[in-house]
Amino acid sequence: MTESAAPPASGPQVEPCTLTEILLITPRRHSDARGYFMEAYNEDAFRKIGVSCRFIQDNQSLSAQRGTIRGMHFQTPPFAQAKLVRVLQGAIFDVVVDIRSGSQTRGKYVSALLSAQNGRQLFVPAGFAHGYCTMESDTVVLYKVDAPYSRAHEGGLVWNDPEVGIAWPEQAEAGTLLERDRQFPFLHGLLDHF
């Protein structure tokens, strides 16, 4: 006797964000007694909801400590990256800040809770700084990118810029920040890369 094939996947759900370029995406899960099946990424389905970049690499990180802050990172052109972020284990408070020069929403941010349980993903186009705080210990984050890593094109925005005013969760532990991340400039000091 053979197992029945997984049901055909249907397109993901998209929730609107205050920054319209940012997409909060929830792939559809098909559940049964064994658990669930889902298409975490399907190029055609994602293209239909507005994600038209071509991802070339998957990156994965483990944060052992609850309250770990990573961010606020970006890469500058010609290595600017779009990202599709999801959580494989645990949960994060995920944050995206508009850093585009001339943008009417420059300095505004969007935040969302992404977890292995809720299956949500955040699409972050180039021109936005990205970071997160882990809400659970041993959180594993996977993100797809559409350009390779380039140390010479690394950039960042300081995580606690009062002009941006990110409402980080109370468990955010500034002691977990890398020294490099502490030294990132404030929004008013960022060069116009985008």
Integer-rounded Cα Rg, in Å, for the chain is 17
Q: Is 89 helix (H, G, I), strand (E, B) or coil?
A: strand
Q: How much of the chain exceeds pLDDT 90, in percent?
A: 89
E strands, 23-136, where? 23-26, 29-32, 35-38, 57-63, 69-75, 83-89, 91-98, 109-115, 121-124, 128-134
73 is catalytic: yes
Q: What is residue 27's predicted lDDT score, i.e. its pLDDT?
A: 93
The CATH number assigned to the domain holding 135 equals 2.60.120.10
Residue 139: domain span: 13-189
Confidence of residue 4 (pLDDT cuts 50, 70, 90): very low
6: in domain? no
* C-alpha 64: how far from chain center: 18
Name 55's Cβ contacts closer than 8 Å, sequence gap at least 6. 41, 84, 144, 145, 146
143 is catalytic: yes
Q: What is residue 193's predicted lDDT score, i.e. its pLDDT?
A: 84
User: What is the C-alpha separation between 141 and 153, in angstroms, rounded?
Assistant: 22
Q: How much of the chain exceeds pLDDT 70, in percent?
A: 95
Half-sphere exposure of 178 (CA within 13 A, CB side): 11
Q: What is residue 191's predicted lDDT score, i.e. its pLDDT?
A: 87
List pLDDT tens digits, range 162-183.
999 999 999 899 899 999 999 9
Question: Do 122 and 114 contact (CB within 8 A), yes or no?
Answer: yes
Please tell me the total count of domains within the chain.
1
Confidence check: pLDDT of 6 > 80: no
b/e sequence 22-49, b meaning 16+ C-beta within 10 Å: bbbbebbeeeeeeeeebbebeeebbeee
161: in domain? yes
User: What is the C-alpha separation between 191 and 193, in angstroms, rounded?
Assistant: 6
Which listed residue (143, 149, 153, 188) is catalytic? Answer: 143
List pLDDT tens digits, range 83-132.
999 999 999 999 999 999 999 999 999 999 999 999 999 999 999 999 99
List pLDDT tens digits, range 151-164.
999 999 999 999 99
2: in domain? no
Which listed residue (30, 73, 153, 193) is catalytic? Answer: 73
